[in-house]
Structure formats: structure tokens, C-alpha cells
Amino acid sequence: MPAISFEFYPPKTDEQRDLLDRTAKKLRTHAPEYVSCTFGAGGSTLSYTSETVRHLAQTHGFDAAPHLSCMGGSREEIRELLRLYRALGCRRIVALRGDLPSGMARMGDLRYGSDLVAFIRAEHGDHFRIEVGCYPETHPQAEDAFADLRHFKAKIDAGANAAITQYFYNPDAYFRFVDDVRRLGVDVPIVPGIMPISNFSQLKRFSEACGAEIPRWIGKRMQALGDDVDGIREFAADLVAAMCRRLLDGGAPALHFYTLNLAKPTQSVLARLA
């Protein structure tokens, strides 16, 4: 089994907390290298993120990495968060530019992901292993594909240790991206972000928002399966597992699963890779 990691989001209700605990317990058996925890827009869930990181580490025994965004935040706010995460025992940060929260007028003191990486390094040296994001199918807000590659290289040059991709369903996009950044001199691990398919209509909404392309044939096959829930689950797990196998065979160093706090879709894929 390859090195794997899981992404969770911070629960806000008792029901969501129970779900996360059940999911974490099930996925713990797969011995992930680490787990990451997302943040909410506008600072609304910053406390939820730190509480969740603490819970995942102390209750479930994970090496838990918080996501950290520079959007809308001051240097002092980010400095305080870094101190908090260091005090919690975190040795890994997922550093992202993030999106400007709705209704917030200012960008924040740090504008780009590369600025955030440089700030973490300046404040804490090599204490944190820093993962950054990248977009094999090009960031939806990038001026063009080449500018996107340059922005990504700037994050690595600023001190990032590795990258996690946005999810995709076209492995060739990943391989092309890796080839492109290697030609620019980037040699850090680039880990594919994997989105198991649990709810196709939800996935379509996510994908439109983040610029991830769902190949037409996948949509057509899902449409053909109609209300056959079991058939859809089997097809989805087979599809994502086959993609994972191709990525690993092609040299991907690990797999990072976007779980959406659900165990079964990810477990179904992992069972096919065992």
C-alpha cells in the first residue's frame, strides 16, 4: 500500500462531530502518514480548525496538519495561529492562499501562497513541514497556464517541502503538470489529491467552483446508471481506484484523499488498491 493521507473538515454540530469520530476511527486502520484539517472562510471556523486538529491528534493519534490561509488575515493573526499550532505539537502545515471570504473587502497582509510560505519560514525556520496546493488543470483564477506554473514554483522557492494537487479525474493532467514543473527545476514530491465519488451532483457543483474537470464519459456513465445506487458506488470506486493505480504506476509518491468526513467512499477505493 502506498503512503496515504486524509483530509477532514472541522465539524460544527454534535452530529458532525460524531460522524467525524466514526470516520476517523475507521480510517485510522489504514495507518495514514498524516491527516489534514481544512479552515472556513473569513475566520468563521478558525477555532473549529484548531479544536479539530487537537482532537484528531489527542483522541485518534493522528499526525494532524492544519490548513492555513492568508486571505483576509493580518500578519499578527497568522503569527498567533502558528504559535497555537506549534504549541499543539503540529509539525506540518498545509499553506494555501485561500479565497477572499464573501463580504470581506481587503486581501489581508499576505497576498499569495508564496508570501505565506516565506512568512512561516521566517517565523519558525524549519520547524514545520509545509505542503502547498497546485492545480494540474490550472487554477481557475490564473492569468494563463504558464503564469500558474510560475506561481507554483514561487511557493516552492519560498520554502515549501511538497505539494498536494486539486483533485482531478484525468491522470494525464497530473503527469503533464509534473513534467512541466520538473522542467522548471521543481523537485519536491507532488502528491495527487484524490476525491472519491460519493454524491455525483454534489461533485459537479464542487468541480464547477474549483475548476476541476469531470470527463464527459464519466458524467454520461453516471447518468446511464440512473437510480442504481449500488451500481453507482461500484462504478465510482472502480474508476477512482483504477486512476490511483495508474498514478502510482506512473511515479506518484503518495495519495491524499479528500474524505468529506466520510469513511466508506475512501475505504472502497483503498480496498481495491490492497
Determine the 3-state secondary structure of 24 from DSSP. Answer: helix
* Confidence category of residue 106, pLDDT binned at 50, 70, 90: low
Residues in Cβ contact with 146 at an 8 Å cutoff, skipping those fewer than 6 apart: none
Neighbour tally for 160: CB within 10 Å: 27
* Residue 263 grid coordinates: 469513511
Q: What is the pLDDT of residue 164?
A: 98
Domain that holds residue 176: 4-273
pLDDT at 46: 55
Q: Which residues of 136-149 are buried (b: 16+ CB within 10 A; e: fewer)?
A: bbbbeebeeeeebb
- Model confidence pLDDT, tens digit, residues 229-251: 899 999 999 999 999 999 999 99
114: pLDDT strictly greater than 70: yes
113 Cβ contact list (under 8 Å, min separation 6) = 70, 95, 96, 97, 132, 133, 151, 155
* pLDDT confidence bin for 105, thresholds 50/70/90: very low
Q: Which residue has the cell 454534489?
A: 202
- Could you tell me the pTM of the whole model? 0.93
Q: How confident is the model at residue 69 (pLDDT cuts 50, 70, 90)?
A: confident
- CATH code: domain of residue 77: 3.20.20.220
Number of domains in the chain: 1
CB atoms within 10 A of CB 103: 7
Are 271 and 238 within 8 A, CB to CB? no
- The pLDDT of residue 99 is above 80: no
- CA angle 75/77/82 to nearest 5° reads 90
DSSP state of 72: T
Is 76 a catalytic site residue? no
- What are 174-214's pLDDT values in tens digits? 999 999 999 999 999 999 999 999 888 888 888 888 888 99
The catalytic residue among 7, 33, 143, 213 is 7
Helix boundaries (H) for 103-143? 113-124
